[in-house]
Structures are given as structure tokens and as C-alpha cells.
Amino acid sequence: MPHKLLPYLIALLLLASTVSGTTKPVDDNQIIPGERVGILTKNTTEKELQRQLPAHSIRRILYDEGEGPIVCATEIFPDSNKSAVIVWRDNRGVYTDDKNGRTANEKCNAAPAFSKPDYVVIWRDAWRTQNGARIGMNLRELEKANRKAITFLSCECCGDGGVVDWGSGTLSGSIYSDLDGSVSPTLGMQLNYFEVKSSVSEYRKNGNVVSTDLSIGIKKKIKISQITVNFKRGKFADS
């Protein structure tokens, strides 16, 4: 009697969908500091990303760490509002052209697959934290999302500074202590205040500015320009 088997077949299908749902990567544009950026988690390897994404959605690039070296990194969703750059812990070599004519790009593309995400850099506005923080959000909105004052770095030479203290707000996230003894947050943000640089400088104390010292008008002109999500592991965290 086939109809008697129907409930069992339905149960098996539901079980299969549940099991597959627990292993399927979540591509939801969400940032959970220290845990994941969309489908990328602290344990995701480059090979896994290559299997999960279409070929045109992942590529190797040379990434300038600013005052640090140029490293070989992985960009996901290039040329889109989901673009993000992954820097890996197991690839900290410096990439430059060599005297034999081999370019830095060639060496980067030929490097073995990476397996230990270090941090992710985001400049595009598709990504969101659970509190709604995103690229382009102004400081007034960010302060509301954090529910506490925000302290950011300010210098006379530029109009861009990183958040140095979330004031134990909702965006504070966790802290990791790296092997060299340095302490960093799992969520980092750069704020662009170039448009109101002269006004912001009036409130600078010891190189920093506290958001609650600024007027609403000034805060609305200060925008998030970069988000960094750290996956580092140190002496007080899992290896």
C-alpha cells in the first residue's frame, strides 16, 4: 500500500533538507565579527571558496596593507557591491617583481591555496553587521547602532581615522590578544571626516575624538569608509 509509505518518505525528505541546511554556507551579506563574513568563516579555506563560488566571483590580487608589505590576497565578488578582500595568515610573504622577469602578479597567482583567514577588508555597501552598520553609514547612525559614544583616531594630515574605542557598546565585539602581545578588536572601522576635518580637529584630545563631543550636523558628514573583520588567533584564543 504505497500511500502508507508517504509519511515516511516526507519525513526522510525533511531530514535530508535539514541536514543539508546545516552544512550549506550562508550567503546573506552579514558580518558577524570574529565569526564570519557571509559564507567566509574563520575556518574556511580558499579551496572551499573556489568550490562554493562561480569562477568569475573569486580571484587572486595583490593587496597593499598600507604601511606594511604588499601581500597576495583573495578577492570575492570583484567589481560588485559585495566585493571583499581576504588576507591570509599562511601567506605573509612580500610579493615584488624579481630580477628573472617574474612579476608579483604571476607569483601571487602561482602560490599554493591558502587555508587560514587572517582578516577581511570591506569597502562596498552590500555588507551589514547584525546592528546594521555598513559602508556609507554616518557617525550619527553608527552611534545610535552602538548605543554608546565612539572614539576615533584623528590627525591633522588626513581626514580618515579608525575607531579606537566602542565604549562597551553593541558593536564592541570580542577582543583577541595576538602572539606578539598586541590587542585588537574583531571589528574595525575607518571613518572618513575629510569634509569636516577642520571642525573635527577642534575636538581632538591626545589624537582622538569622542563622538558625543560633536554636533549632529558634523556627525552626519562623517561616514564609514572601511570595515575590517579579524579572524586572528592569539595566546588567549583557540589556535
User: Are 188 and 218 in a shared domain?
Assistant: yes
User: Are 59 and 96 in a shared domain?
Assistant: yes
User: Are 134 and 212 in a shared domain?
Assistant: yes
On whether residue 48 sits in a domain, the answer given is yes
pLDDT at 168: 86
How many helices and strands, by DSSP H and E, does the chain display? 6, 15
End residue of a domain, out of 122, 146, 162: 122
User: Are 158 and 117 in a shared domain?
Assistant: no
Containing domain of residue 107, as a range?
30-122
Which grid cell sits at 132? 546594521
Q: Measured in whole angstroms, how far is the alpha carbon of residue 115 from the centre of its chain?
A: 17
CA-nearest of 118, 119, 209 to 160 is: 209
Domain tally, the chain = 2
End residue of a domain, out of 122, 138, 155: 122
User: Are 88 and 142 in a shared domain?
Assistant: no
User: Are 86 and 155 in a shared domain?
Assistant: no
On whether residue 191 sits in a domain, the answer given is yes
Q: Strand 151-153 to strand 208-210: parallel, antiparallel, or no bridges (unpaired)?
A: antiparallel
On whether residue 87 sits in a domain, the answer given is yes
Distance CA 52, CA 55 (A): 9
User: Are 173 and 206 in a shared domain?
Assistant: yes
User: Are 193 and 142 in a shared domain?
Assistant: yes
Low-confidence residues of the chain: pLDDT under 70: 1-26, 68, 92, 94, 156, 173-184, 232-239
On whether residue 139 sits in a domain, the answer given is yes
User: Are 178 and 196 in a shared domain?
Assistant: yes
Which tens digit of pLDDT belongs to each residue from 41-84? 989 999 999 999 999 999 999 999 877 678 999 999 999 999 99
pTM equals 0.82
Q: Which residues contact 228 (CB under 8 A, 6 or more apart)?
A: 119, 120, 121, 122, 187, 188, 189, 190
pLDDT at 239: 38
Which backbone phi and psi does 84 adopt, to 5 degrees?
-150, 150
pLDDT at 35: 86
Distance CA 177, CA 235 (A): 6
Q: Strand 183-185 to strand 84-88: parallel, antiparallel, or no bridges (unpaired)?
A: unpaired
User: Are 190 and 223 in a shared domain?
Assistant: yes
On whether residue 4 sits in a domain, the answer given is no
